[in-house]
Amino acid sequence: MWFFLAILGYSALALTVTLDKFILTKSVGKPIVYTFYSTIFMFGALLLYPLAPELLSGTEWLWALVSGITFGLALWAMFVATKKGEASHINPFVGAITAIATYLTAFFILGERLSLFDNIGFLVLVIATVLLSFEKTKNNNHIHVGYLYAFLAGILFAFSHICAKYLYDINDFLPVFIWTRFTTGFFALFLLFSPAVRRIFKKRKKKVKSKYRKHALSIVAVTKILGFIGVILIQYAIAIGSVTVVNALAGFQFVAMFALIYLMSVFYPKIFKEYFTKKEFWLQLSAIVLVAVGLALFVV
- CA 260 to each of CA 36, 73, 130, 217: distance values in angstroms, whole numbers, following the listed order: 26, 27, 19, 23
122-131, 138-147, 222-231: which has the minimum mean pLDDT?
138-147
What percent of the chain has a predicted confidence (pLDDT) above 90? 29
Query: Looking at the predicted structure, is the pLDDT value of residue 207 above 60?
Result: no
Are residues 173 and 61 in contact, defined by beta-carbon separation less than 8 angstroms? Answer: no
Neighbours of 89 (CB within 10 A): 28
Rounded Cα gap, residues 148 and 296, in angstroms: 31
Question: Does residue 68 lie in a domain region?
Answer: yes
Among 194, 195, 223, residue whose Cα is nearest residue 27: 223
Split into its structural domains, the chain has a count of 1
CA angle, 151 then 156 then 159, to 5°: 130
What pTM value is reported for the model? 0.82
pLDDT tens profile 162-176: 999 889 989 999 999
From the list 224, 225, 253, the residue with the least C-alpha distance to 98 is: 253
**Domain span at residue 164?**
2-198+208-298
What average pLDDT does the chain have?
83
Residue 193 DSSP symbol: G
| Residue 203 is assigned to a structural domain of this protein | no
Q: Do residues 234 and 10 lie in contact, with contact meaning Cβ atoms separated by under 8 Å?
A: yes
